[in-house]
Structure 1
Amino acid sequence: MSNTRNPDWNPRDPALLDEPLAAFDRMRHECPVAWSEYQHWSLFRHEDVTRVLHEPETFSNAVSHHLSVPNGMDPPEHGHYRRIIEPYFSPDAMARFEPRCRSIARELVQSLPENGTTDVIPAFAEDFALRIQCAFMGWREDLHESLREWLHRNQQATLSGDREAMAQVAVDFDSTIRSLLAERRDADDQAPGDTTTALMNETVNGRALTDEELVSILRNWTVGEVGTISASVGIIMYALARDPELMMHLQAHPEELDSTIDELLRRDAPLMSNRRVTTCPVTLGGRRIEAGERLTLLWASANRDESVFGDPDAIDPGGNAGNNLLYGAGIHVCPGAPLARLELSTLFEELLFWRPHFHIPGDAGPQRAHYPAGGFSSLSLAFG
């Protein structure tokens, strides 16, 4: 049985949690396919992760204990739900959302001090992620703080491996979504014409989506967006604060923001990992893995693989784009990537215009968020 194995590493080692990228860089060389009780089989190399992404018949997405639409589904079921979801992130949909996105971004950027120091994680990155996602889905603004609390509780429960706490977090969040669905049903023809209402009117295989399916989709969109967008904002701000030349270049060439943001998030992942389960015995990195074993795909390591990217910290948007796994690959590539790119590029266009000068003060070192979260839990920046 898997629980009798000797662990190859400890993903919850405090030193590793504080410096995850350096630890992943070491593991790619020392033990690129590693066993631990917490992550089961962890894959560190780009080659192995890419293989898994392109072999869904061997590496199944059906790993969750609850319904996960469509993330936790395999073909052909996955495709039926994917076709429902993709139009919500189409070019037309993004064009319609852009004015609202820009308004929120500008308001938050202008709330930053023109001169002074602030921790931009709670006061800017999280606020942006919460406001922008609620706006996209048509959710009330009074949900922002309860969603923030839920996000933190979910991360803490996942880090600790406390299944009871994780289950309670899921129940609490699902009840919030169900109340939003009930509000719209009670409103009937007066329900707001937003993303959530539109999703409630979708059908799959000739029938209406069930509440369980709707809750799953909306949960995945929230989990997938709020945590990763917040982490992304912090990672990008940290990178720009440390590289004034890059900041000045992007101020002069905002058309390069999209590709540069993707590259900055390649070398420092906002979403640390994803999961799969084997459907048959396989060999990865010289290790035999039996059917039914769980895998952890470490994007944060694969996207820094020297055999693919050379110096993992060098910035080369054009050269690295084709191998960047920021939004995954294969049939499960992230459908929400267009929304994330719109949100981030719009926010940083506004930031570099309205608050073009910021740096890391010498007496305020950033604090890394701990796995499963990416980015920073605290990042003080001085503006002006």
Structure 2
Amino acid sequence: MTSHQDWDPRAPEVLADPIAAYDHMRRRCPVAHSDYLHHSVFRHADVMRILMDPQTFSSQASRYVSVPNSMDPPEHTAYRALIEPYFGPDRMVEFEPTCRRICAELVSALPRNSSTEIMFGLAHPFALRMQCAFLGWPDSMHEPLLQWIHKKNVATLSGDSHAIAAVAMEFDETIRDLLKARRRAGDQAPDDVTTRLMHETVNGNPLAEEEIVSILRNWTVGELGTMASSVGIIANYLANHPDLQDRLRRDPDLVRPANDEILRIHAPLIANRRTPTCPVRVGGTQVQPGERLTLIWASANRDETVFGDPDEFRLDRDPSLNLLYGAGIHACPGAPLARLELEAMIQALLADTRRLEPSDEHPPMPAIYPASGYRQAILMLRHD
């Protein structure tokens, strides 16, 4: 028996223009069923309600251990308290010089006064170098991580549970090898984020290796894909809005809020999951315990009832309404790091160029779910 489907998230027209497709679904069917994503939730109010009620809407929506993403209180509370200091103000101040140096090096290496493929020419190297620098991982990890992200996206799109599990296991083994090297080094192990994490405790107990691997996996998966997507989205948006480029060059302090607003308009992360703990109605749809809810960030952050014209760029919006980094107890703990890195990169790119221009001959190619942004985006970087 074939189940009822309100839409097909993998239909060619959806993959060709995901943002437009989500806008259409939000207006037509705000909670839509599909075999692939189960119950997709498109409206801002419904997504916010789910995020702010972890008792009714559990984060335990995955079969795999995910610390603390798939945890609920009270377990989540203890692990979240462990993680947040890694992204606190002191740590950001400590990391900022390295962050800005990497951005300056990457931008200065770009070809001058010529067309540049921004994703593999800048965005992916940026995400890889930043993540490895923050975690204390060697440069030799760049290429394996890039290949792993590609395999992960292919496996997720296929829906093949065995392929998804194999890709996850491959990444976990890579992390375990890094942990083994640090244990062998003993007191000579580098004093970095990864080593510090190995000595953490929760409720007086040392973290199990499985928990350390899960935390590092979440940080890496969340960082690499979405940060590269973010750079591509912002750079392409600025190339198509020269007046905003000029404004940000004149006032670099506006880059951080401008980044948040651009990424509200075009989300770098498409969705997340929850599951109800009891029978509940969401947007007029009855959902049973254990059924999956897919929260479509890329739609909720464009809801007309909250933002008016979703494509209008405005810096005076209420930042608490922007779900770029989530909301509630599971709001992204790494938001301070992401904002710092994106600010440093866009400031460096604008400072080094006179104008970013889109390519008339090669329009950007959209990424394929679960990725967002672009697979390819060619821009002209003018310096003279």
TM-score by length of 2: 0.98
> What's the offset of the Cα at 1:14?
1.3
1:70-149 paired onto structure 2 within 5 Å = 70-149=68-147
2:3 maps to 1:5? yes
Letter in 2 for 1:358: L
- Structure 2 CA distance, aligned partners of 1:25 and 1:109? 34
Match of 2:218 in 1: 220
> What's the offset of the Cα at 1:316?
1.2
Aligned residues: 382
- Structure 2 CA distance, aligned partners of 1:275 and 1:317? 29
Using the TM superposition, name which of 354-363 and 69-78 deviates more.
354-363
Determine which of 210, 217, 223 is the counterpart of 2:208.
210
- Structure 2 CA distance, aligned partners of 1:35 and 1:321? 30
Match of 1:363 in 2: 361
Match of 1:197 in 2: 195
Q: Map Cα deviations across residues 17-69 of structure 1 (whole Å, 9 max, x no partner).
A: 11001111111111000000000000000010000000100110011111100
Match of 2:299 in 1: 301
1:326-365 paired onto structure 2 within 5 Å = 326-365=324-363
Determine which of 186, 189, 193 is the counterpart of 1:188.
186
- Structure 2 CA distance, aligned partners of 1:113 and 1:151? 26
Match of 1:310 in 2: 308
Q: Map Cα deviations across residues 45-104 of structure 1 (whole Å, 9 max, x no partner).
A: 001000000010011001111110000000000011001100000000000000000110
Q: Secondary structure of 1:250's partner?
A: helix
Q: Map Cα deviations across residues 168-203 of structure 1 (whole Å, 9 max, x no partner).
A: 100100000000000000000000000000000100
* 1:109/1:355 contact within 8 Å kept: no
Q: CA RMSD in A?
A: 0.9
* 1:259/1:318 contact within 8 Å kept: no
2:39 maps to 1:41? yes
2:372 maps to 1:374? yes
- Structure 1 CA distance, aligned partners of 2:77 and 2:241? 42
Q: Secondary structure of 1:317's partner?
A: coil
- Structure 1 CA distance, aligned partners of 2:316 and 2:110? 32
Q: Map Cα deviations across residues 337-375 of structure 1 (whole Å, 9 max, x no partner).
A: 000000000111111111232211211111000111010
Match of 1:235 in 2: 233
Letter in 2 for 1:82: R
Q: Map Cα deviations across residues 204-261 of structure 1 (whole Å, 9 max, x no partner).
A: 1111101000000000000111100000000000100000000000000111111110
Using the TM superposition, name which of 40-49 and 112-121 deviates more.
112-121
Q: Secondary structure of 2:316's partner?
A: helix
> What's the offset of the Cα at 1:317?
2.3
Q: Map Cα deviations across residues 139-186 of structure 1 (whole Å, 9 max, x no partner).
A: 010110000000011011111111111111001000000000000000
Match of 1:170 in 2: 168
Using the TM superposition, name which of 160-169 and 218-227 deviates more.
160-169
Letter in 2 for 1:135: A
Determine which of 270, 274, 277 is the counterpart of 2:275.
277
Q: Secondary structure of 1:307's partner?
A: helix
Structure 1, unaligned runs of 5 or more: none
Letter in 1 for 2:33: W
Structure 2, unaligned runs of 5 or more: none
* 1:231/1:270 contact within 8 Å kept: yes
Q: Secondary structure of 1:71's partner?
A: coil
Letter in 1 for 2:100: R
- Structure 2 CA distance, aligned partners of 1:166 and 1:351? 36
Letter in 2 for 1:13: A
Match of 1:153 in 2: 151
Q: Secondary structure of 2:115's partner?
A: strand
Q: Secondary structure of 1:7's partner?
A: coil
* 1:309/1:320 contact within 8 Å kept: no
Letter in 2 for 1:334: C
**Runs of 4 or more off by more than 2 Å in structure 1?**
none
Identity rate of aligned residues, in percent? Answer: 54
- Structure 2 CA distance, aligned partners of 1:250 and 1:267? 18
CA 1:22–1:320: 2 relative to 1, 3 Å: farther
> What's the offset of the Cα at 1:4?
5.0
* 1:263/1:320 contact within 8 Å kept: no
2:63 maps to 1:65? yes
> What's the offset of the Cα at 1:320?
4.1
